């Protein structure tokens, strides 16, 4: 499932089912620069590969232990004559799967099988026949791969084009992207840096090193994920705790996946080649391997002094892609550092700092911090000046995260889930634990999507996708909302319901340290009230304010959603009184004791987002509590300013 449909709360780490990966063959139908681990097609090792029956037995054993996902790779997995049968057996017993292939051996029957739901990644080594075939060292491979793409498209089997960048094709990289986009709506970058061969061949490894891209290009191809950068950076691999040199302990403790090579050797990682750290499934059981053998390896490899004085104490370890297996491939020692990755880590740190500085902003409203990330850089003028007083330096105790993208996901209507709401400008869908907001035209016509927003179940995280001229609008600046929606209340009102709060049509003010709310709809006199009391009070907002209930009482917060009076404040104050305003020839304040009347008046002025039953229940509870706990009045006033004396007496 695409990541934009699987947004989860950041403080939740779900326990996933087991995920297995299996190499069907180390053989490859080429001798490409990228595939140095492959064994030639006619090698004697072919006879030692797992049989079809053995693979079926493995799949069944893993399934009884909870394995619901499989990754299929090689070499080139389709080199096996019984690939179709193996693929059919694995995928018919899996919730989902992924497969890596160079696409040259796809046939119409295989393409039909690959229509099954899963991630098909087909490698592309160049944008032209000359470059692609040079990298694969297999004349005709480009044409064969293009035919594989066509067969998949004819069968309706969606696929991802996987670009494999290296020095010999990097001059064509923009053209590779263009070609990938013409082949599929989905493309990705394969490993942007090349690890060495497990064969240990000096010649092969020297050539691989020669194909590595400069560190800056590596990081540019695989930039840190801004959405995962919170208070602290995070490395690509689980890190050993300080003072613990068990190199694989953290990795094993956090893993829910396993790897099986073509000969039935199981390990917790596809790069592990040490026989002492692999389990022979031909002589044992999958359960024994998973429950006993793999956990027993946690303390088997220790870094010792070499690790403690290098990678274990490095200032860049949180930015590094180093893993003990890479050290082993590079130098034959698990604890060895990889100099190329040291350079990449320094570039990664620099990139992360730029992202945190230029692509992230924080704003605090109603006691909620909103972290706004963007694929495009922010400037001082990106948002309207009204937001300035709401700027924050960093996350707060209650932080909500949104991320702006400037292209639309591939999200046809049939993949959006159940439609639960449709009223311009939104059609809203429920898919799993995600809310999907699809922008629809105001005139009721049917047109392509121009905006999609995907939020987590509680709206505490979301990705917002914009298309059309939004990139130009964003860069031009002076934006009136953080979400780029017509109003941020669509999001914030949802959040407040879970926090004992809600928006009110009101003028908010702080007078002598006490919060006052002057409640009324349009034309009731909210902006007039703000002008009348401005010299004696701090105006929070003249049109819409937030109220929230805390253990020590109610608070009122200003917002940036102002009316005719542009002055706004992020300040809050204890809520002293609610005054329902009414223009009159008299100036007086009358206490309201009828709680039903208060609830009725408050509900009439509550600002509503997309309304669900749970939102109504939570909001109604808060409104009823407010009616019980906060003094409420009717305020009649004229434009003379005489009402100020009444307010001071109040």
User: What percent of the chain clears pLDDT 70, i.e. is strictly above it?
Assistant: 91
With a pLDDT cut of 90, the percent of the chain lying above it is 76
Residue 324 has pLDDT above 60, yes or no: yes
At 550, list the tokens: 């805390």
Query: In the prediction, which pLDDT does 244 show?
Result: 85
pLDDT digits (tens, 9 = 90+) for 570-602: 999 999 999 999 999 999 999 999 999 999 999
* Predicted confidence (pLDDT) at residue 5 exceeds the cutoff of 90: no
Element (H, E) at 578: strand 572-583
Q: What pLDDT is stored for residue 626 in this prediction?
A: 97
Look at residue 381 and tell me whether its pLDDT is greater than 70. Answer: yes
| 8 Å CB contact between 2 and 409 | yes
Q: How many CA atoms lie within 13 A of 42 on its CB side?
A: 0
Q: What distance in Å separates the CA atoms of residue 387 and residue 395, rounded to the nearest whole number?
A: 16
How would residue 233 be classed by pLDDT, with cut points 50, 70 and 90?
A: very low
**What integer pLDDT is reported at residue 40 of this predicted model?**
45
Average pLDDT score over residue span 44-58: 85
Render pLDDT for 537-563 as a digit per residue (tens, 0 to 9).
999 999 999 999 999 999 999 999 999
pLDDT, position 514: 95
CA-CA-CA-CA torsion for 568, 572, 578, 580, nearest 10 degrees?
Answer: 10
What's the pLDDT band for 44 if we cut at 50, 70, 90? low
Does the pLDDT at position 478 exceed 50?
A: yes
Res. 449: pLDDT tops 60: yes
End-to-end Cα, the chain, rounded Å: 58
Query: pLDDT tier at 29 (50, 70, 90 boundaries)?
Result: low
Mean pLDDT, residues 464-491 taken together: 93
239: pLDDT strictly greater than 90: no
Residue 174, CA distances (Å) to 97, 103, 118, 225, 628 in order: 29, 21, 27, 21, 64
Q: What would the two tokens of residue 427 be?
A: 């059609």
Q: What is the pTM of this model?
A: 0.80
Residue 529 banded pLDDT, cuts 50, 70, 90: very high
pLDDT for 11: 34
pLDDT reading at 47 higher than 90 = no
Which structure tokens are listed for 85? Answer: 């049968």
Q: CATH number for 491-649: choose from 3.40.47.10, 3.90.228.20, 3.40.50.720, 2.60.120.10.
A: 3.90.228.20
More confident residue, 237 or 111: 111
Q: Which comes out higher in pLDDT, residue 505 or 12?
A: 505
Q: Which is more confidently placed, 413 or 286?
A: 286
SS3 204: helix
**For residue 86, pLDDT beyond 90:** yes
Mean pLDDT (whole number) for 1-8: 38
Q: What is the pLDDT of residues 126-164, one digit of tens each?
A: 999 999 999 999 999 999 999 999 999 999 999 999 999
Contact 291, 66 (CB under 8 A): no
Chain segment 158-184, per-residue pLDDT in tens: 999 999 999 999 999 999 999 999 999
Rg (CA), the chain: 30
**Tell me, what's the pLDDT at 261?**
93
Residue 589's CB is within 10 A of a number of other CB atoms, namely: 16
pLDDT band at 415 (very low <50, low <70, confident <90, very high): confident
State the average pLDDT over residues 66-84: 93
Distance CA 40, CA 151 (A): 26
**Would the pLDDT of 407 be above 50?**
yes
**Residues contacting 412, CB < 8 A, separation 6+:** none
pLDDT of residue 465: 94
What letter would DSSP give residue 12?
-
| Every domain of the chain and the residues it spans | 201-247+301-358, 359-486, 491-649
Query: Do residues 573 and 510 touch, judged by C-beta distance below 8 A?
Result: yes
Q: What is the pLDDT of residue 240?
A: 67
Q: Characterise 528 by phi-psi region: left (phi > 0), alpha (psi -120 to 50), beta (else).
A: alpha
**What does the longest C-alpha to C-alpha distance in the chain come to?**
102
User: What is the chain's mean pLDDT, rounded?
Assistant: 89
The per-residue pLDDT for 497 is: 96
Asked if 299 contacts 249 with a C-beta cutoff of 8 angstroms, the reply is yes
């Amino acid at each position: 499932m695409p990541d934009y449909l699987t947004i989860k709360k950041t403080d939740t780490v779900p326990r996933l089912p087991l995920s297995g990966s299996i190499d069907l063959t180390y053989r490859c139908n080429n001798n490409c620069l990228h595939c140095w681990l492959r064994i030639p097609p006619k090698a004697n090792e072919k006879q030692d590969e797992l049989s079809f029956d053995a693979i079926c037995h493995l799949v069944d054993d893993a399934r009884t232990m909870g394995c619901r996902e499989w990754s299929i790779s090689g070499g080139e997995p389709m080199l096996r004559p019984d690939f179709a049968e193996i693929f059919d057996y694995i995928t018919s017993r899996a919730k989902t799967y992924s497969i890596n292939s160079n696409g040259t051996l796809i046939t119409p029957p295989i393409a039909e099988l690959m229509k099954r739901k899963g991630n098909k990644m087909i490698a592309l080594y160049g944008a032209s026949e000359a470059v692609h075939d040079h990298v694969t060292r297999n004349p005709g491979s480009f044409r064969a791969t293009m035919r594989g793409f066509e067969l998949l498209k004819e069968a309706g089997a969606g696929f991802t084009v996987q670009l494999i960048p290296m020095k010999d094709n990097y001059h064509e990289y923009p053209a590779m992207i263009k070609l990938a986009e013409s082949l599929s709506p989905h493309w990705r970058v394969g490993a942007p840096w090349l690890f060495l061969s497990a064969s240990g061949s000096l010649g092969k490894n020297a050539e691989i090193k020669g194909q590595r891209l400069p560190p800056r290009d590596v990081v540019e191809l695989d930039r840190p994920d801004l959405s995962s950068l919170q208070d602290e950076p995070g490395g690509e691999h689980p890190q050993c705790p300080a003072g613990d040199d068990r190199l694989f302990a953290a990795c094993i403790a956090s893993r829910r996946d396993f790897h099986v090579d073509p000969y039935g050797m199981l390990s917790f990682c596809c790069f592990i080649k040490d026989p002492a750290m692999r389990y022979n499934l031909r002589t044992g059981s999958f359960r024994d391997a998973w429950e006993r053998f793999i956990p027993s390896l946690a303390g088997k490899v220790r870094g010792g002094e070499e690790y403690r004085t290098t990678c274990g104490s490095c200032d860049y370890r949180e930015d590094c892609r180093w893993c003990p297996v890479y050290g082993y491939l590079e130098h034959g020692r698990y604890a060895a550092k990889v100099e190329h990755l040291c350079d990449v880590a320094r570039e990664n740190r620099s990139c992360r700092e730029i992202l945190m500085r230029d692509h992230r902003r924080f704003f605090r409203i109603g006691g909620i911090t909103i972290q706004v990330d963007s694929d495009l850089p922010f400037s001082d003028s990106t948002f309207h000046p009204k937001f300035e007083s709401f700027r924050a330096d960093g996350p707060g105790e209650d932080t909500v995260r949104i991320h702006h993208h400037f292209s639309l996901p591939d999200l046809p209507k049939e993949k959006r889930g159940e439609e639960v709401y449709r009223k311009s400008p939104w059609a809203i869908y429920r898919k799993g634990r995600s809310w999907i907001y699809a922008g629809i035209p105001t005139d009721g016509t049917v047109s392509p999507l121009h905006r999609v927003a995907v939020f987590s179940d509680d709206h505490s995280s979301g990705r917002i996708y914009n298309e059309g001229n939004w990139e130009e609008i964003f860069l031009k600046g002076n934006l009136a909302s953080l979400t780029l929606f017509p109003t941020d209340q669509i999001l914030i009102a949802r959040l407040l319901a879970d926090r004992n709060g809600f928006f009110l049509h009101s003028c908010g003010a702080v007078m002598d340290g006490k919060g006052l709310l002057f409640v009324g709809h349009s034309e009731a006199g909210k902006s007039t009230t703000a002008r009348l009391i401005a010299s004696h009070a701090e105006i929070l907002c003249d049109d819409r304010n937030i109220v929230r209930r805390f253990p020590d009482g109610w608070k009122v917060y200003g917002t940036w959603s102002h009316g005719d009076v542009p002055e706004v404040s992020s300040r809050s104050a204890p809520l002293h009184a609610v005054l329902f305003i009414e223009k009159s020839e008299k100036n007086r304040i009358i206490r309201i004791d009828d709680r039903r009347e208060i609830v009725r008046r408050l509900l009439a002025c509550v600002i509503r987002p997309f309304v669900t039953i749970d939102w109504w229940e939570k909001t109604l509870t808060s409104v009823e509590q407010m009616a019980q706990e906060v003094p409420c009045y009717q305020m009649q006033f004229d434009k003379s300013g005489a009402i100020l004396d009444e307010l001071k007496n109040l």
